[in-house]
Structure formats: structure tokens, C-alpha cells
Amino acid sequence: MSADAEQLTGAWAERGAPDDYMHEETLHCGCCGRMIVRRAWVVTAPEEPGGELIFCEPVCERIYAEYWLPRHGGGR
Amino acid sequence: MSGSDEAIELVLLHNRLTSICREMGVAMMRTAYSPVFNEGFDFICALFDREGEMIAQAEYNPSMLGAANFSVGWMVEELGAEAFAPGDVWIHNDPYRGGCHLPEHLLLKGIFHEGELFGFAATIGHVAEIGGKAVGALAGDVTEVYQEGLRLPPVRLMAGGEHVMDVWKIMMTNHRTPKLTWGDLHAMLGSLRIGEQRVEALLAARGVAATRRDVAELSDRSERWMRREIAAIPDGEYAFEDVMDDDGISAEPRRLRVNVAVRGEELIADFTGTDPQTAGPINATFAVTASGTYNAIFQLTDREVPRNAGCYRPIRVIAPPGTLVNVLHPGAEIGGNSETHCRIVGIVIGALAAALPERVAAGDGATGCNFLFGGVHPETGEFYANYHFENVGWGGARHRDGNDSQCVPLAISRNTPIEVFETRYPFVTVGFRLQPDSGGAGRHRGGLGTERILEVRAPEVTISSLFDRTATGSYGLEGGLPGGCASIEVRRRGEERFRPFTEAFGTVSPAKFSNVTVHAGDQIRIVSSGGGGFGDPRERPLEEVRRDVRDRVLSPQRAAAEYGVEVDELSAGVLSGSPD
């Protein structure tokens, strides 16, 4: 399931810190809930807290727009 | 090479890779020390490319489908491919890093050809005893991961082919049965060695570049095949929900909910609306929820779709963090991969019943009936531990009754034979039979659960339990009735009747508890749940009702009440009945 690159606005960025064994907080995909290990697909979203949406991969940006938002009406 | 030659070549490659994984599993079975491996098949063997994408797996425990799909890739991403050197084996069992639950340990070994990393051999195995609050880890009343056992982040177990004894010492010291752990981990290491050797031979024969190209093509073909399967499901949104009895800490039922959205060749299983994560141990990790979803979809689609990374891609899972289907640290999760996994499979299949009525079955028994025990064996003087589970009834379907006494769909585990069980552990099996009336009534009835009665033959044994489906039966479909419930009860020596543990020992939950001590002469009665029925029971042919009564799997009272058939118990002759 490849996401249609032309419709995506995000970019890969380092976000997770899995080797920080002193802290147990984990970062999760804003769509599917999967843990972000190191790389995140980050979408600029000024209306969101922090100004961005973080996904585990590009497909989740598409699913967020096409499924999540129409069904649930906003971020978690 | 012509198109057909290429296709044949790919099929041969797929079969060879799958055979390698099967041989890895045979090595596990034949060399492991614990029945949970060599009788219960509670493991998985798979091969991966150097990015951590699965290229093949054998048909072992489906409860680890998601863990295999995620945890290897996540581990490679976390550590970096450069962390893997020839002869290294990494281990981890962290449920918050892609694992299913704490007892399941991933062992990962790089496969090198002429000094270059080609990919990985991996096994995930359920280690029977990992320390923690209760023997066998599956305690029904733990409230955080630290009570469940020893948690390992990714660390080297072997380096350059040598034991990293610091890690081994930590594990052996924290497990109650270190000899079993030692033996089982070496069975896993042997399995990895088999995988490594066979893939090395494959690469020597057909070259690294050609093999990389072909496994990528296999993965793409698998994805296209799964997309066609999904495209054949009518587009729509299909919702379903079910409840679990309790979380072992309070008596409150917990709700699981799914919306399955089928959109062309893509399927989204959205678990939004599921209850928040609980204090007790029924929380599922993301990998469990993904495993349960894959498990359900694989049951409903062509079984010939090659099981590699490609077939997972069109199936998307949405599991909100901090809920029953995506536990956050330090939430207890030990029962998520036995009890909650079953329900996830069940609600995804239940949701798709409206879209695929010819393919689905009613709900299965949906509990592992996890019964854990341990103590000092009176004959050996050594500590023993065992993880015992029961089969359940499967649901009836449009064209057949449900299977009786079948492993829950989250696994392919065999029941431990009574002879093996009694040889190893201080119990005598007083009775073991199909449980009458446990199959949900229907045009096609649900399969039967079982009843097992064990008598303690040691001065004392410590037991724990983690069951569900004790309050609500497995769902029926199209007018079929729910299956019978599971239970665990005790009859202490000299007592007249079996009693629930809530009454005999004051546990909060009837079937989720830990560290209860029973003594010589006490008996434990385990009843597993039956499958739900499919279709109106009044439409079941008279002869089939009569046969069930004759076979003592249906009582005359239930025949009358649920099927509308009056049957003489002694002769099993039909006196009257509403069906033709």
C-alpha cells in the first residue's frame, strides 16, 4: 500500500529515542497508534498542538486525511 | 526467462524459504526442554531481509504474526544494521517494543554471505518461566509489567558465537526454572543456526543479488494477491463489539470495539471506542492487536497467499494508545496475548460476518484457559513450573458444525498428552471429556469445550489462572445461540462439591488470580468454553439433534428447550419435534 506521494506533505525526521533507557515515554503514530522507533513522518499542521502531526509512515498521513478525520473529526 | 518460468522460479523460492522456516521449527520442537515448545508449538520461525521485512515464515503460532511483522523491523531500526556481526544473537522480550507479551522472547541472528549482511533468521518463543509474581508469568491479578517477569530490552545473548555470560547469568538468576530456560533458549539458538545455514546454502546456489530481487518480487506479488482478496469483500464499514469478563482486579466487564472499513483493496481495522487500558493484565500490545487482526483476515482470505511482508501491507490497524488494544508502559499485558487476542480475532470476524456470511464462523471459545502451576517436585526435589492451556469449541458456520475441543485460533498449540503431563508434574488426571451442552445451539451447532479434573499428588502446589469467557458465552450468528462458558473450580480434599475460587479462596475474579496454594488430594476442575451456534436451532435436522443426544454431547433438556425436540434420554428415540 504505497501512499500517493503527490498528495502527501510530510517528510521523514528523527523523533523517537528508543535507546533512552532512563525514560519510558514513547511516541506514537497520530493515526494508527504504533510506536515511533526512530524515524517519523512529520506533517506541518499549525492548527495542531506543537504545530505538527507525527505519523509512523506516509500511508498514515493519507489514512488520517481520508479515514480518520472524516470519521472521528480531529486528532486524538 | 519467460513469464511462466519466472513464476515457477518464484514459487520454488517461496517454498524453499518456507521449508527452511519449518525446519527451524522442527529443530525447536525436537530439542526444547519445555512442553510449551515441544508439545505446545508456542513459537514462530521466520526469515527477514536486512531492513527487517519478513520474507518467509512457517505455519507456527499465529499469535505472533504481528510481533514478527513489527518487532524485527523495529529492532533493526533501533539498533542499526551495523550492530549485527557474524555469530551475534540478540534477544528481547519487551512488550512495548513490538513484543506480544513478556514470556515471548525474540532471538535474532544476522545471516551473512561473503561478509555482507543479507538478512536475519528469527524465532519468537514463549519461555515457560520468566520470574515475576507467579509461576509461569500468566498471573491473573498483576497490575504492572514489573510483576510479570524479567523484561529484557534488545541485548546480545551471543557475541561472535560465544555466550554473553553476563546476560545469561541475569536470566538464569531471575527465572524459577533456569535449566528449562537454558535448554529452551539453546533450542532457539539451534533453530537460528539451521536457518542461517540453509539460507547461506541458498545464497551460494543462486547469488545474493538475484535472491534479493526475487524476495522483493515475492513480497510485491503477495501484496497484490492480498489486495485482490480484500477487493473481493464488498466495500463498507462493519462494526462489532464484545465484552471481557473482568480484568482480574475489579469485577467490571471491559468492552472491545472495532470498525472494519473496506475501501477497495485496502482494509482498516479501527479499534477506536475500545475501553481504556485496565489495571489488570488483559491489556494487549499494539503487536497483539495487529496479530489478531491479521489472524482474522488470513482466516477469511485465500490461505495460499504467501506469508511475507507484502500480505500485511494492505491491512491497516488503528489502535489508540492507552487503551485495551495498545497498552502503555507500565501497564500489565500478560493476558493480552492469550485472552484479548482471541477477542480481537472474534470481533474482526464478527464485523465481517455481514460482508462474508459464507466464510465466517460464529464466535469460538476465545479463552486459553491458562492454568499455571509450580512447586518443588516430591520425586526430584527440584522446582518445576508449567504453563497449561485447554482447547475450546469453535463456532458453527453456514455449512458445518463447529470443531469440538480445538486450540483457540490464536495458536496451533497441541494439548499436552496426559501421559507427558503426569510424568512431569505431580497431578493425576481424574477425568477428561467433551463438555456436554457447551456447544451453542444452532442450525450448525458450536463445537464443544472440555472438562478436565486434576488431582494434586504433591504436598502442595502453587497455582495461578487467567481465563476469560466465564460470564458471557461466545457469540452466535444468524440466530445461533451463545456457547457455554468456561470455569475453573476447586474441590478441596474431603469436600462434597466443586466451588469457585472466589468462594473457596476469596479471589476477586473467578478465573483470574495468582499464587493460590492447593494440597494433596485437592481437585481442580477446568471447563473450557464452547463455540457459538450458527443459524436458527429450530432448523437443525432432527437426526442431528438425535445424534447429539445419543452421543451425550446434548442433554435431553437442552434438546427440548433450544431445539424444540423432545427426546427420550434412555432410548434417544424421538418422541416429538417441531422440525420435519
Residue B218 exposure: Cα atoms within 13 Å on the Cβ side: 29
- pLDDT attached to residue B1: 67
CB < 8 Å & 24+ apart, contacts of B10-19: B10/B214, B10/B217, B10/B218, B10/B221, B13/B206, B13/B211, B13/B214, B13/B215, B13/B218, B14/B56, B14/B218, B14/B306, B16/B202, B17/B47, B17/B55, B17/B56, B17/B202, B17/B215, B18/B56, B18/B57, B18/B58, B18/B307
Q: How far is CA B283 from CA B102, B325, B464, in A?
A: 12, 6, 18
pLDDT tens-place string over residues B331-389? 999 999 999 999 999 999 999 999 999 999 999 999 999 999 999 999 999 999 988 99
Complex ipTM more than 0.85, yes or no: yes
Is residue B273 less than 8 Å (CB to CB) from chain A? no
| Tens digit of each residue's pLDDT, chain B (580 residues) | 677 888 999 999 999 999 999 999 999 999 999 888 887 888 999 999 999 999 999 988 888 877 788 889 999 999 999 999 999 999 999 999 888 999 999 999 999 999 999 999 999 999 989 999 999 888 999 999 999 999 999 999 999 999 999 999 999 999 999 999 999 999 999 999 999 999 999 999 999 999 999 999 999 999 999 999 999 999 999 999 999 999 999 999 999 999 999 999 999 999 999 999 999 999 999 999 999 999 999 999 999 999 999 999 999 999 999 999 999 999 999 999 999 999 999 999 999 999 999 999 999 999 999 999 999 999 999 999 988 999 999 999 999 999 999 999 888 887 788 998 999 999 999 999 999 999 999 999 999 999 999 999 999 999 999 999 999 999 999 999 999 999 999 999 999 999 999 999 999 999 999 999 999 999 999 999 999 999 999 999 999 999 999 999 999 999 999 999 987 654 555 444 444 3
Q: Which of B69, B77, B470, B46 is nearest to B245 (CA)?
A: B470
Q: In the prediction, which pLDDT does B426 show?
A: 96
Distance CA B426, CA B403 (A): 31
Radius of gyration of chain B (CA): 24
Which residue in B318, B323, B325, B328 has the most chain A C-beta atoms within 10 A of its own C-beta, making it the best mutation to test that interface? B318
In this prediction, residue B580 carries a pLDDT of 39
Going from N- to C-terminal start, the domains of chain B cover: 3-224, 361-540, 541-580
- The reported pLDDT for the residue numbered B577 is 47
Q: Which residue of chain B comes nearest to A25, CA vs CA?
A: B329
Residue pair B537/B441 in contact (Cβ under 8 Å)? The answer is yes
8 Å CB contact of B272 and A72: yes
Query: Cβ of B478 under 8 Å from any chain A Cβ?
Result: no
The C-alpha cell 493480552 sits at B336
Which triple of cell numbers denotes residue B375? Answer: 512447586
Q: Give the integer Cα–Cα distance in Å for B439 and B316.
A: 33
User: Which pLDDT value is given to residue B414?
Assistant: 77
State residue A4's pLDDT score: 58
Give whole-number Cα distances, B110 to B90, B219, B309, B454, in Å: 9, 20, 18, 45
Closest Cα in chain A to B223 = A1
The pLDDT of residue A1: 43
**Residue B294 near chain A (CB below 8 Å):** no
Domain that holds residue A32: 5-72
> Contact, B147 vs B137, CB < 8 A?
no
C-alpha dihedral (B434, B440, B442, B444), degrees to nearest 10: -40
Contacts of B460 (CB under 8 A, 6+ apart): B375, B517, B518, B519, B520
Contacts (Cβ under 8 Å, ≥6 apart) of B159: B85, B87, B88
- Quick check: B297 and B344 in contact, CB under 8 A? no
Could you give phi then psi for residue B7, rounded to 5 degrees?
-65, -40
Cell digits for A18? 528508543
Which of A26, A31, A37 is most worth mutating to test chain B (most B CB atoms within 10 A of its CB)?
Answer: A37
**Chain A partners of B272 at a C-beta cutoff of 8 Å?**
72
Q: CA-to-CA distance for B483 and B346, rounded, in angstroms?
A: 13
B324 in contact with chain A, both atoms CB, cutoff 8 A: no
Q: Are B199 and B20 in contact (CB under 8 A)?
A: yes
List, as ranges, residues 13-42 from A with C-beta within 8 Å of B.
18-19, 21, 24-26, 28, 31-35, 37-39
Q: How many CB pairs under 8 A join A and B?
A: 60
Q: What is the pLDDT of residues A5-27, one digit of tens each?
A: 568 999 999 987 767 778 778 89
Residue with cell 503426569: B422
- The count of other CB atoms within 10 Å of the CB of residue B127 is 27
Side chain identity, residue B339: E
Instruction: Say whether A33 and B321 touch across the interface (CB within 8 A).
Output: yes
Type of residue at B239: A
What are the CA-CA distances from residue B123 to residues B108, B144, B411, B448 (Å)?
Answer: 7, 26, 15, 33
Alpha-carbon gap, residue A5 to B237, rounded angstroms:
26
Quickly state the pLDDT bin for A3 (edges 50, 70, 90): low
- Nearest by CB to A76, from B96, B313, B320: name it: B320
Number of domains forming the structure of chain A: 1
